[in-house]
Amino acid sequence: MPIRVLCLGGSTRADSSSEKALRAAAASVVEAGAEVEVLAGPELVLPIYAPENPERTENAEALVAALRRCDGVILSSPGYHGTLSGLMKNVLDYVEDLRADDRPYLDGLPVGCIAVAYGWQATVTTLQSLRQTVHALRGWPTPLGAAVNASGPVFDTDGQCVDGAARMQLETVARQVVEFARAWHGAGALQPR
């Protein structure tokens, strides 16, 4: 059975730096031999998560279904005021819909975290917030999280990563998610989909 990695981007702005970083990581997932699904931008503009309201939009249902079938996740959030975007926090709140599943929340899933901001302070604090939230959702953050400082030239006009350090981080995060998913899957640790 192929390894499936779900890539979730945390910006509403099309072609944002955080979406470019997500797509660069997604390309590395494919290079590592896994299947990838990307949900970003308008696909993640969801109503504020309300656990008492069981009604879900089509996009919310698609998100939860994608989370259920994946073997690993990559999250990419812009740094807004020193933490993850409201859109990304809302997306992660929808993980609550998995609470009663055989594999609750992100239990046992490798999760790669990417934070993109204009400056190191917001980049690092956003990455820290992402990793803490993944822990709270029972996911396994990869050893390396990507901190991409977008204050300099990181992506060209085609969205290709031209910053060597950022490219290495994005490739490593993607590779670690795929390798850990394979290891868990091979050990029979992941629940059936």
Q: Given this model, what pLDDT does residue 55 score?
A: 95
pLDDT above 60 (res 190): no
The whole-number average pLDDT for the span 169-174 is: 98
Supply the range of the domain harboring residue 56. 4-186
Q: Given this model, what pLDDT does residue 117 score?
A: 95
User: Which residue has tokens 């939009």?
Assistant: 57
Q: Which H or E run contains 62?
A: helix 58-69
What does pTM read for this prediction?
Answer: 0.94
- What does pLDDT average to over the chain? 93
Q: Classify residue 192: in a domain, yes or no.
A: no
Q: Classify residue 193: in a domain, yes or no.
A: no
The whole-number average pLDDT for the span 43-52 is: 95
CATH of the domain at 47: 3.40.50.360
Q: Classify residue 94: in a domain, yes or no.
A: yes
Rounded to whole angstroms, how far apart are CA atoms 166 and 170?
6
Q: Classify residue 125: in a domain, yes or no.
A: yes
Give the residue from 26, 24, 21, 20 showing the smallest Cα distance to 6: 26
Which residues are registered as beta bridge partners of 149? 117
Q: How many domains does the chain have?
A: 1
Q: Classify residue 191: in a domain, yes or no.
A: no
Q: Residue type at 38?
A: V
Q: Given this model, what pLDDT does residue 150 score?
A: 92
